[in-house]
């Protein structure tokens, strides 16, 4: 038996870090929104003893037990007691260490794919997900959501139609490193960003006077500006551009520019000199079947 699924990326429509928790994680407020950029995952199962194999299209991604997709399959087998061998083929399109949740999306998609293949329904995937990583519960649910706590508290927020230009600086940012830098600077002005505004469902539209319904400020951005000249230059470029709605996703370094019309996104992309991706918002929840 085999299933083929899309594992979508997300962008953060604003990110506020509220503080470090006693368990070592951080409380956050952010709006996650899935986008059309996705990894493609093929999962097959057969009767067996719990063997897991993982292959990846990208050489710099580990294909062993350190990979979140592998860990997700292992957690599913341990939780259900299913006597199966699992084979996972991972086609990577979401850049690693980019702030778009690629690894977490892969893990959530493996969990959902195994549920689909096995027909097992009486399992709490969210409980497994939070043990795998803070972003994984969102991808179990998918779509768009207000994220609080360490990532386990999700509230409905409306889907927002947009076209996005993703800008990929030629650097990698470890989430663990970014949080450690935030901890070191938590009492300085670098971390004193504006709180995210929470708009009602009726406000989640584009309209004159409010071109986008969320504050896109990201608490990591001032810290990355300080440590990476490439980020500082990109911030200046975005500030000087005609794009009103831009931000950085997660702990970076991916930037995004958001537009109502696809034509405006294409036009903006022509002003860029580095690596970029054109995509759109995903307006249905969850990993989607790809045939």
The span from the CA of 8 to the CA of 33, in Å, is: 10
Contacts for 103 with CB less than 8 Å, ≥ 6 apart: 67, 68, 69, 96, 133
Contacts for 176 with CB less than 8 Å, ≥ 6 apart: none
Q: Pick left, alpha or beta for residue 14 (phi over 0 → left; psi -120 to 50 → alpha; otherwise beta).
A: left
Pick the closest to residue 118 from 83, 93, 152 (CA basis).
83
Residues with active-site annotation: 10, 135
Neighbours of 47 (CB within 10 A): 8
Contacts for 196 with CB less than 8 Å, ≥ 6 apart: 14, 15, 16, 29, 30, 31, 214, 215, 217
Q: State both tokens at 107.
A: 């893990």
Contacts for 264 with CB less than 8 Å, ≥ 6 apart: 163
**Are 8 and 40 a contacting pair, CB within 8 Å?**
no
Pick the closest to residue 175 from 22, 64, 28 (CA basis).
28
The span from the CA of 173 to the CA of 254, in Å, is: 10
Nearest 5°: phi and psi at 94? -85, 120
CA 91 to mean position of chain CA atoms: 17
């Amino acid at each position: 038996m085999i299933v083929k699924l899309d594992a979508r990326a997300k962008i953060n429509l604003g990110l506020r870090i509220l503080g470090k928790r006693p368990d070592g994680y951080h409380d956050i407020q952010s709006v996650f929104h899935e986008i059309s950029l996705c990894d493609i995952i093929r999962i097959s199962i057969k009767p067996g003893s719990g063997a897991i194999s993982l292959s990846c299209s990208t050489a710099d991604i580990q294909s062993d037990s350190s990979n979140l997709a592998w860990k997700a399959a292992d957690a599913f087998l341990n939780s259900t007691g299913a006597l199966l061998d699992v084979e996972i083929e991972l086609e990577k399109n979401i850049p690693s260490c980019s702030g778009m949740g690629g690894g977490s999306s892969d893990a959530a998609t493996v969990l959902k794919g195994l549920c689909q293949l096995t027909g097992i329904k009486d399992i709490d995937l969210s409980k497994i997900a939070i043990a795998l990583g803070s972003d994984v519960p969102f991808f179990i649910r998918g779509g768009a959501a207000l994220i609080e706590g360490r990532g386990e508290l999700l509230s409905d927020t409306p889907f927002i139609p947009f076209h996005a230009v993703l800008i990929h600086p030629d650097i990698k940012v470890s989430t663990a490193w970014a949080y450690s830098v935030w901890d070191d600077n938590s009492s300085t002005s670098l971390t004193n960003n504006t709180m995210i505004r929470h708009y009602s469902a009726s406000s989640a539209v584009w309209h004159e006077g409010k071109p986008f319904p969320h504050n896109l400020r990201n608490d990591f951005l001032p810290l990355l500006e300080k440590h990476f000249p490439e980020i500082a230059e990109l911030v200046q470029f975005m500030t000087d551009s005609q794009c009103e709605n831009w931000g950085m996703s997660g702990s970076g370094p991916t930037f995004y520019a958001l537009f109502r019309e696809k034509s405006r996104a294409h036009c903006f992309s022509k002003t860029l000199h580095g690596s970029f991706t054109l995509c759109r918002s995903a307006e249905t929840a969850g990993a989607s079947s790809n045939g």
